[in-house]
A and B are shown apart, each in its own frame.
Chain A
Amino acid sequence: NAGVMQNPRHLVRRRGQEARLRCSPMKGHSHVYWYRQLPEEGLKFMVYLQKENIIDESGMPKERFSAEFPKEGPSILRIQQVVRGDSAAYFCASSRQGSEAFFGQGTRLTVV
């Protein structure tokens, strides 16, 4: 049973471009969470999704950021018109209802 798969592992974007981060949850998991982490800091919650539904997006910036978890395929975190301040590690986790969340290895986004 493969773990949570995130790709790409590293992503470099120029200011103003779009970044798309993908997360494939573990088999049987219908809950996906996205977190952002700056170096030497904790994990900041962004958004929590279930299949085809956004459950909680209270941690997501109102502009430029969006997330989806379609019925088929991976969850996508999309950042439009990236700025230098978007540079961070973005982690995805998945879980079953009421169970532990397992994390992927993250996508490290660098905006140049």
Chain B
Amino acid sequence: GESVGLHLPTLSVQEGDNSIINCAYSNSASDYFIWYKQESGKGPQFIIDIRSNMDKRQGQRVTVLLNKTVKHLSLQIAATQPGDSAVYFCAENILPGQNFVFGPGTRLSVLP
């Protein structure tokens, strides 16, 4: 289930189930989006990206969905594994040449 922790919302899923992590972005003009995974003590790691001219993009076990109408981005992880436990951030880039703005993050906890 999903709960709000002290700072980061947490999503707990059973190993083997699918995970869906959601992100609301701020600017309707944003044209490029990235999902990052951050493990404890490490820097954010690029997972998958999508441009605003697409609504879906698939990688290995991950799918990103973009709904521009409601400014919503989601990351789907198939067959979640213990190694997927981390904090996941979405980032939006409004225009090339501008910085990336990060969402607040979601902690994914995979239960055995």
Contacts and interface: CB of A to CB of B under 8 A. Distances in A.
Contacts of A41: 7-8, 104-105
Contact of B49 (A45, A91, A100, A103): A100
Contacts, number: 64
Q: How large is the interface on B (under 10, 10 to 19, 20 to 34, 35 or more residues)?
A: 20 to 34
Given A41-B7, A100-B49, A105 B42 contact: yes
Interface string A17-35: 0000000000000000101
Interface in B36-73: 36, 42-46, 49
- On chain A, which size bracket covers the interface? 20 to 34
List of 6 A-B pairs having minimum Cβ-Cβ separation, nearest first = A98-B96, A103-B43, A48-B99, A40-B7, A43-B102, A103-B44
Interface of A: 4, 6, 33, 35, 40-45, 48, 55-56, 59, 91, 93, 97-98, 100-106
